[in-house]
Copies of this chain bind each other. A is one copy, B any other.
Amino acid sequence: MKSIILAVDDIRAIVKRVGRDALMDELILRMTRAFDDYSTDKIKIPMRDGFQYTHPVLGLLEWMPIMEIGQKSTIKIVGYHPHNPNRHQLPTIISTISAFDASTGHLIGLADATFTTALRTGAASALASKIMAKPDSKTLGLIGCGAQAVTQLHALSRIFDFDRVLLHDSDFSIMQSFKERAAFIGIETQPTQLDELVKQSDIICTATSVEIGAGPVFDAEEYKPWLHVNAVGADFPGKIEVPKDFLKASYVSPDYREQAIKEGECQQIDEDEIGAELVEILQNPDEFKHLKDQPTVFDSTGWALEDQVALEMLLDMAKDFGLGTELDLESIADDPHNPYSFVGDEETVSKNQKAS
């Protein structure tokens, strides 16, 4: 029984063939549909869980499962190692994702999720900004200009007509190199003092590797009354990016309430100060119209439904384009009652001595 593996070459071929913009548009479209269709009766998403450690390096390795009950399941394994870029020239986030047939346990497919994690985190911010930010937002501020910032800008640029993008990063070289990394998006970027960025932006995305206990990453002293913040960096207990007073002055929508309370910006506020989850807002747009005119925060900790949508998009495209490696991965043979039956004929070696 075949499993399909999408390796980096396959995903590269998909991106080249579809184009970055069309790929992002398709993901935003599919994610919009998936959020519209979501119901807790059909879909179970337990909180992600994993290993968190501080030695020998700070890191975490987590699993993010989702199941359409009895139908299919997707499990993403994601590593977060903020020292990766400097120590290993590797991205902070490295990830793979697997799809399973939930009626048999068969592994349907496995793919890189390093790229799709960046892509879907951008798309989720696009969905949130579309429903919560001012529709004619012209100025985007990026606090943290690493990998995630590229897809934040890309995704938002597919929804909004920005005039300019203000940049800030505590690492000057990363702030400087952003222009080139985001050149394909075609919007002017300018390194900006942090307080000016906060003051002038209609929308801000925070995507930093701020250390635990070292946040927030900006002060909200002066800002536009409709400022919308996509806070995407918080993913670890104690890691926060958004100042508490701004959270308290804003409508705060988490992607996943329990997870946001544990590792998102919602760590900082009382439970009764937390607004509806993004999916509820998207399913009931009329109820939440007023959000566009007030300060809002999307507390994005990462939601497995987003990962499932991104994986299925890639698997569909790979199928259309004839990409991917098909492998008989599981040792399944004619006789389900014989674990050795997949071996076939007797092995060629002679019988060994018994273990002591």
Contact = CB atoms under 8 A, between A and B. Distances in A.
Given A7-B327, A25-B352, A337-B181, A53 B81 contact: no
Interface string A31-75: 000000000000010100111010111010101010101100101
Contact of A339 (B22, B89, B150): B150
A146 B339 CA distance: 9
Contacts of A94: 104-107, 330, 332
A100 interface: yes
A336 interface: yes
Interface of A: 1, 5, 7-9, 11-12, 15-22, 24-25, 28-29, 44, 46, 49-51, 53, 55-57, 59, 61, 63, 65, 67, 69-70, 73, 75, 77-81, 84-85, 88-96, 98, 100, 102-107, 110-112, 114-115, 118-119, 145-148, 150-151, 158-159, 174, 177-178, 181, 184, 325, 327-332, 334-355
7 contacts: A16-B343, A16-B347, A29-B355, A55-B69, A78-B105, A94-B105, A95-B105
Nearest to A117: B339
Nearest to A111: B329
A355 B77 CA distance: 30
A329 B104 contact: no
A8 to B, nearest CB: 5
A339 to B, nearest CB: 4
Contacts of A19: 347-352
Contacts of A53: 67, 69-70, 102
Contacts of A112: 329-331
Contact of A96 (B12, B98, B111): B98
Contacts of A20: 340, 343, 347
A114 B63 CA distance: 20
Nearest to A350: B19
B96 A147 contact: no
A156 B353 CA distance: 14
A336 B91 contact: yes
Given A8-B332, A100-B77, A340 B15 contact: yes
B102 A11 contact: no
Contacts of A354: 21, 25, 158-159
B91 A343 contact: no
A327 B325 contact: yes
A287 to B, nearest CB: 22
Given A59-B102, A81-B104, 6 more contacts: A16-B345, A53-B67, A63-B75, A95-B105, A112-B330, A151-B339
Which has the most chain B C-beta neighbours within 10 Å: A46, A73, A80, A94? A94
A187 B233 CA distance: 61
Contacts of A18: 347, 349
Contact of A77 (B29, B75, B84, B334): B75
A91 B332 contact: yes
A88 B347 CA distance: 27
Contacts of A159: 354-355
